[in-house]
């Protein structure tokens, strides 16, 4: 009888491990719809040279469902004049390279003076990519000539389905004005 109980215990333990493992893999493969869209459209085809920044957290938000997907402490971001490269560093995710011309603009989201995110907005994809406390992203946005999208325009895009302003007529401002606009975005304007 003890042998039967021991075998039953081991079988159940093994089965539970296998079920848990299968659930974990299924969860990881399909847990980020916005990142799946990025992989489909911006799969990294080559190695790029650029400045590597470590972001403590990368957050993706979709205009389609407003779900938030947060990748903490395991992502690498590389910035080049042509691309933003994101590597989530999880085996089920592929590296993506987003061309700067596919980026509609940038923004900033602040929750308080110590909790803020630099945002890259992909208007046509309906995806906001936010980088925790990253001045490098803001600097890259300015260097790439991308507009700083107003808080009102960003909210209307994210929650009301409006389009982001067309960046074709955007006139590059100097760095000081861009910083002022960034601070205003942080204040919600």
Distance of alpha carbon 49 from its chain centroid, rounded?
20
Distance of alpha carbon 37 from its chain centroid, rounded?
11
CA atoms within 13 A on the CB side of 34: 25
Q: Which SS3 state, helix, strand or coil, does residue 26 take? A: helix
Has residue 112 got a pLDDT over 50?
Answer: yes
Domain boundaries, the chain: 33-186
CA atoms within 13 A on the CB side of 41: 15
Distance of alpha carbon 51 from its chain centroid, rounded?
17
Token pair of 5 as six digits: 């109980």
Q: How far apart are CA 132 and CA 148, in angstroms?
A: 17
Q: Are the beta carbons of 124 and 104 closer than 8 angstroms?
A: yes
- When pLDDT is cut at 50, 70 and 90, the band that residue 25 belongs to is very low
Q: How far apart are CA 154 and CA 78, in angstroms?
A: 24
Q: How far apart are CA 60 and CA 52, in angstroms?
A: 19
DSSP per position, 47-99: ----EEEEEEEEEEEETTT--EEEEEEEEEEEE-SSEEEEE--STT---EEEE
What is the model's pTM?
A: 0.81
- When pLDDT is cut at 50, 70 and 90, the band that residue 16 belongs to is very low
The overall average pLDDT reported for the chain is 84
Q: How far apart are CA 189 and CA 182, in angstroms?
A: 9
Asked which of 4-8, 39-43, 139-143 is least confident by mean pLDDT, the reply is 4-8
**Per-residue pLDDT tens over the stretch 119-170:** 999 999 999 999 999 999 999 999 999 999 999 999 999 999 999 998 787 8
Residue indicated by tokens 């003890």: 2
| Fold of the CATH domain 33-186 | PH-domain like (2.30.29)
Has residue 15 got a pLDDT over 80?
Answer: no
Q: Which residues of 98-118 are buried (b: 16+ CB within 10 A; e: fewer)?
A: bebeebbbbbbbeeeeeebbb
């Amino acid at each position: 009888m003890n042998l039967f109980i021991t075998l039953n215990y081991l079988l159940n333990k093994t089965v539970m491990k296998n079920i848990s493992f299968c659930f974990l893999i299924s969860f990881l493969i399909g847990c980020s719809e916005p990142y799946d869209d990025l992989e489909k459209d911006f799969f990294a085809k080559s190695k790029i040279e650029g400045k590597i920044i470590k972001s403590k957290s990368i957050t993706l938000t979709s205009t389609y469902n407003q779900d938030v997907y947060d990748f903490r402490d395991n992502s690498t971001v590389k910035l080049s004049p042509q691309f933003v490269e994101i590597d989530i560093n999880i085996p089920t995710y592929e590296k993506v390279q987003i061309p700067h011309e596919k980026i509609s603009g940038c923004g900033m989201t602040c929750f308080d003076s110590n909790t803020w995110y630099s945002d890259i907005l992909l208007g046509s994809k309906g995806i906001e990519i936010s980088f925790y406390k990253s001045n490098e992203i803001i600097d890259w946005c300015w260097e790439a000539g991308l507009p700083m999208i107003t808080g009102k325009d960003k909210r209307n895009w994210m929650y009301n389905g409006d389009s982001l302003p067309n960046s074709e007529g955007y006139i590059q401002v100097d760095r000081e004005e861009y910083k002022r606009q960034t601070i205003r975005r942080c204040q919600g304007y």
